[in-house]
Structure 1
C-alpha cells in the first residue's frame, strides 16, 4: 500500500476543474424491467435494485466521442490552448472500443494534444479516477510536467447490457453510460491533500464474465457476454465493498488528522443504493453530504466519481473551502482508493 502525500517540487497539486457528459436521453427502467423472464433470480437482491433511469450510448458513439464532449466545458472555461498544452493524458475506458488499442492516442488526436506522458489505464475499474489522480500527482510532482487531463469513459450499458439475452437480467438495469474528465495542475486551486490506495491481489479474478457456450469472449459463437454473477459472488462483493471504502476513507482521514464526520462532501462510485447507504452510515455522514446521481444515471462505473463531482459542483453541493473526499472500490474488491481535496481557488 502506498499512501504518500501530495507534495513535490511545487508543494501543491490542484484538481483545477472537472466536467462531464451523458449521452442521449434518459432511458427508463422499464426498458430493462419490462422484459419477460428473470432467469438469474436476482431482481429482488439489494445489489440489483434498479435506478429509475440511465443513459445509453448510441450505436456509433465511441469512448473518444464522449471524452471530446466532456472536455468541451474545460476548453470553454480555460481556453483551448491551455487544455491542448497538457503534459499528461490519462484515460480509462470501461469497455475499450477496439481490441489491442486504448482510447488515449485517439483522444489526443481528436483534442489536438501532444502530451509527453500518455497512459491508458486498464486497472482500478470503478475507482480508477482516484488511481489516475495519484498517477497524475506523482508525474507532476517529480518531472517538469505542469498539467494533466484525466478521462473516465463508460460505454458498456448501451452495448453489453442491451443485448437481447442480457437486457432482461437483473444486472442489466443497473449500469449507465457517461464520461467524466478532470484538469489537474501545479497552479493554485483545489489542493490535493492526500491520496490513499490499496491493491488487493487476493481478490483478483473474482470478477468474471459468462458465456453460455463456454467460449472465450473473442471466439466466434452465438452466446452473449454478461457478468458472471452468482449468489456467492454477490455476497463476496457486498461484504468487501461495505468494508473497503469506509476503511480507505478512514485511513486517509486519520493520516490527515480529520474525523470522517468533518467531510463536507463524500463523492464515491455508485454501484447501488445499499453501498451508498452503508458507506455514509459507516463514516457517520448524513445523506446531504454524500451526493450521488444513482437514481438518474445508474452505476457509471469508473466515470461515476468525476460525473458526480461535476453535478455536485453545478448544483452548489460543493463550495469553496469544503473538504471533499473521493472514494471507491473496483471490481470484486481488488482495488480501493480515496483522495482528499480542499475545494477552492475559483476553479469554475
Structure 2
C-alpha cells in the first residue's frame, strides 16, 4: 500500500566525454548542416569509448550517488541493475558493478531488472519493497546504456537521437516517500521497438538476418499507442498519490525525443516550467534517461527536499510507467 516510506538519499550520473554534435550526425547522414537539430531538437549526445562499458559508467554514477548519500559501498544491502540492454547476458550487469565497487566477496545481493526504458522505475519499486520489509536499509539502483553500439543508420529517426550514459540513486529510509507507482503493458505494440539479436532466438550460432543486431523503432506507432493510454494512466497515478497536477513541483520524464516531450506536456496539461527537459544535449539514453534527468534536477535545484515529483515514461512493450515521489 502507498505511500511507501522510501527516501532518495543520493543521485549521480555519468556522461561520456566524447560528444557527437548534431552537425557530426548531419555529415554521417549526408544531410545539410542544421538538419538534425531542426528535425529532432538535438544539439549533441555522448558516445562511449571502448573503455566506457556499461558497468564502468554505472559504477561512476553510483559513486557520485553514494557521495551525495554520505555512504560507501560497504553500507549497501542490495544492488539493482536496471539497464535497457545488459553489458553481457550472463552474469548480470549488477554483478559486474558489485565487483567494480570492491564488493566481490561481500555476498550482497546483486541482480538485474529489465523493463527497457522504464527499468529504473521498476527497480525503484522493488527497492521500496525490500526496504519496507526490513530486508535492506540502503539500496543502490543504477541504469547504464550504450545505445551507440546498436544504431541502424538507415533509420535516422532512431540513429540520430540515442545517447550513451548512466544514472544511479541510493535509496533507504528517511523523510521521503513513494506516493504511488504504476506500470502497464500493451503487447499490441511489441513490434514498435525491437532489438532482435542477443538472446536465444537470434544469436551468432544460429545466424541472423541483416539488421537484427540493430535497434529498430517505429516511433510513430510507439507514440500513437502510448498516447492513447497515457492520459488516463497519469490521472489514476496522481489520484492514488492524492495529488492534483498543480501540486507537482517537478515532472521528470523519460527523454524519448523532443517531439514526444512536447506532445506529452500538452496532452497531460502539464506546465512547461515544471517539466525538466535535457534532451537537446543528452538524447534518448534508454533506461539511463530517467535517473539522469533526476540527478540533473537535484543538482540544479529543480528538485529539492520535500518536493513532489512525477517520474514518467514509456518503453518497448509498449509499456507505460510512472512513480510519484516526495523527495
> TM-score surpassing 0.5?
yes
The answer to whether the aligner puts 1:85 opposite 2:80 as a matched pair is no
Q: 1:133 is matched with which residue: 111, 124, 133?
A: 124
**2:188 counterpart of 1:183:** no
Measured after TM superposition, the shift of residue 228 of structure 1 is 2.8
SS in 2 for 1:15: strand
Compared CA separation, residues 216 and 144, structure 1 to 2 (3 A)? closer
Contact map agreement 2:3 2:241 (CA 8 A) in 1: no
Q: Does 1:24 pair with 2:9?
A: no
The question of whether the paired residues in 2 share the 8 Å contact of 1:240 and 1:332 is answered with: no
1:237 Cα deviation from its structure 2 partner: 0.6
Other structure's SS at 2:324 match: strand
In the alignment of these two chains, the number of paired residues is: 316
Q: CA deviation at 1:168?
A: 7.3
* Structure 2 unaligned regions, length at least 5: none
1:292 partnered with 2:280: no
Aligned pair partner of 2:321 in 329, 337, 340? 337
Separation (CA, whole Å) in 2 of partners of 1:256 and 1:80:
30
| RMSD of aligned residue pairs (Cα, Å) | 2.6
CA gap of 1:304–1:315, structure 2 versus 1, over 3 A, is same
| Correspondence 1:109 to 2:95 | no
CA distance in 1, matches of 2:157, 2:183: 31
Counterpart CA distance in 2 for 1:300 and 1:89 is 21
Residues of 1 paired with 2:304 and 2:6: CA distance? 19
1: CA distance, partners of 2:107 / 2:288: 22
Question: Aligned in 2, Cα 1:282/1:178: closer, same or farther, shift over 3 Å?
Answer: same
Q: In structure 1, what is the Cα distance between the partners aligned to 2:139 and 2:78?
A: 4
Residue of structure 2 equivalent to 1:33: 26
- 1:211-265 CA deviation, whole Å, 9 max, x = no partner? 9xxx935355794532334xxx433211123234433322111112211232110
Flag structure 1 segments of 5+ consecutive residues without an equivalent. 344-348
Q: Deviations over 1:259-283 (max 9, x none)?
A: 1232110101011112111222222
TM-score, normalised via structure 2 length: 0.87
Q: Map 1:1-348 to 2 at 5 A.
A: 4-7=1-4, 12-36=5-29, 49-81=40-72, 83-113=73-103, 114=106, 116-122=108-114, 124-157=115-148, 159-161=149-151, 166=153, 169-186=156-173, 188-209=174-195, 216-219=202-205, 223-224=210-211, 225-229=213-217, 233-333=218-318, 335-343=319-327
The separation in 1 between residues aligned to 2:80 and 2:214, in whole angstroms, is: 27
1:139-166 deviation line (CA, Å, top 9, x unaligned): 2212432121100001122x223xxx72
User: What is the alpha-carbon distance in structure 2 between the residues aligned to residue 141 and residue 242 of structure 1?
Assistant: 33
CA distance in 2, matches of 1:51, 1:185: 36
User: Does structure 2 conserve the Cα–Cα contact (< 8 Å) formed by 1:261 and 1:284?
Assistant: no
In the alignment, the residues of structure 1 paired with residue 287 and residue 261 of structure 2 have an alpha-carbon distance, to the nearest angstrom, of 15
- How big is each residue's C-alpha offset from its partner over 1:298-324, in whole Å with a ceiling of 9 and x where there is no partner? 001111111111111111111233211
Contact 1:91 1:104 in 2 (8 A): yes
Cα contact 1:245–1:327 (8 A) shared by 2: no
Indicate if the aligned counterparts of 1:241 and 1:275 stay in contact, CA closer than 8 A: no
Contact 2:78 2:109 (C-alpha < 8 Å) held by counterparts: yes
Q: Distance in 1 between matches of 2:133 and 2:310?
A: 24
Q: Deviations over 1:98-145 (max 9, x none)?
A: 2333211111111133364322112x1111111111111112212432
Q: CA deviation at 1:180?
A: 0.5
